[in-house]
Amino acid sequence: MRILVVEDDLILADGIANALRAAGHAVDGVASGLDADAALTADEYELVVLDIELPKFDGFEVLRRLRRRKSTTPVLVLTARDAVHDRIQGLDLGADDYLTKPFEMGELEARIRALVRRSRGAADDLIDLGRLSIDVKGRRAFVDGRAVELSAREFAVLEVLGARAGRVVSKEALISTVYQWDREVSPNVMEIFVHRLRRKLQDAGVGIRTIRGLGYLLERDA
């Protein structure tokens, strides 16, 4: 994938470019708003990583010109300014995501992956959790390639937990994926689903933790 990195701090630009190249992307780097605008006019990029504080004219202006040309290229804005109104201005101008400096390279890569997925218009069809894999399109789950017997609702719960593996999903969010929002459902109903899922996934290399008062978290066994 071809990515344009617009960043005037050379050390940071070099770090970003190297990390993205290591991840298999083709990366061009420019250091000013003017050069960025020229590069974006001349070439097609699949993604732009854009700093706001730039010489010549700033990243907001680059973004404004890009969107005026009706380009839908995803833009990830980087900035040291984290005031809420700066963030709002960036998003209003058509930025797709916002990352405040300093950041972990891993987070930048994850955000880029998410942006590209979103711009290609498709979520992952297959959630890979080691021995467990979830086929979102086929509505089936496999452990070591063998299908697991799951009801439609059990699968829906597993899908949400699997898509956010490692993070806490609230009971309310899970219930709303299983039942229509206007149905009165006891929060305890989720305990039953989770109990069944735990039993069926006993040997799947994953565990579902109950997080007190907060919801559930699916984690891969260490």
Partner 1 sequence: MLRTQLLWRLLPSVMVVILVASFFAYRLAFDMANEAYDAALFDSARSLAQQIRVGSGARPALELPRAAEEILLFDPHDRIYYRVTAADGATVAGDARLPLPPAALTGAAPVHFYDTLIAGERVRASAYALFADGETPAGTVIFAETLVKRRHLLERILFTLVVPLIVITVLAAGLVWYGVRAGLAPLNDLALSLARRNSSDLRPVATDRVPGEVRPAVEAFNNLMTRVEAAHSAQQRFLSEAAHQLRTPLAGLSAQLDRALLAQDYEALKPALVQLRGASRRVTRLVNQLLTIARAEPGADPKREFAEFDLAALVQETCREWVPDALAAGVDLGFAGDAGPLKMVGHEALIGELLNNLIDNALRYGARAGQSVTVRLTQDPQPEITVEDEGPGVVAEERSRIFERFHRVAGSAAGGAGLGLAIVREIARTHGAEAWVEAGAEGRGAVFRVRFPAQKMNRSPNV
**Residues lying near partner 1 in the complex (CB under 8 A):** 82-84, 102, 166-168, 170, 209, 211-215, 217, 219
Query: What is the closest distance, in whole angstroms, from the C-beta atom of residue 218 to partner 1 in the complex?
Result: 12
Closer CB to partner 1, 121 or 166, in the complex? 166
Strand-pairing partners, residue 97, are 76
Number of CB atoms found within 10 A of residue 191's CB: 13
Quote the least distance from Cβ 103 to partner 1, whole Å.
9
Task: Give the H/E segment covering residue 182.
Answer: none
Residue identified by tokens 């109903």 is: 189
Select 83 or 152, whichever has its Cβ closest to partner 1: 83
Q: Which is nearer to partner 1, 42 or 222 (CB)?
A: 222
Q: What is the DSSP letter of 96?
A: S
DSSP 8-state assignment for residue 47: E
Cβ at position 156, least distance to partner 1 in Å: 20
Spatial distance between the Cα atoms of 177 and 160, rounded to a whole number of angstroms: 8
Between the two ends of the chain, the Cα-to-Cα distance in Å is: 33
- Judged by CB, which is closer to partner 1: 160, or 217? 217
Both structure tokens of 12: 């940071």
Identity of the residue, 119 or 170, whose beta carbon is nearer to partner 1 in the bound complex: 170
- Shortest Å, Cβ 18 to partner 1: 14
Q: How far is the CB of 100 from partner 1 (least distance, A)?
A: 9
Q: Is 151 exposed, middle or buried (0-12, 13-18, 19+ CB in 10 A)?
A: exposed
